[in-house]
Structure 1
């Protein structure tokens, strides 16, 4: 069981490293039967909560 816990710790550190080094990402959805993508800024509270910030009305 200890090996699984160590693995989860390694995974958590890798995810935190990615979130700390890459603050901008994209979110893609479908809107009016067409692809719709926007850039978003991400921040986190030690993986407890992942926050995404975007403009309320972004120009597309």
Structure 2
């Protein structure tokens, strides 16, 4: 969980270029292909869903 939070929070340290949206499924540039949207929610929704799933599985 901490990895995803730090990954999205510190993206600007990895990317030294001006932030912009990049919508291209077939981009071969390794630096821009994996770029997350600047308006990322730090995976809060996804992490909450993961927690709920794990709690549900442990309850069974």
**TM bucket by the smaller chain?**
under 0.3
TM-score (norm 1): 0.24
Rg larger in structure: 1
Structure showing the higher strand proportion among its residues = 1
Structure showing the higher helix proportion among its residues = 2
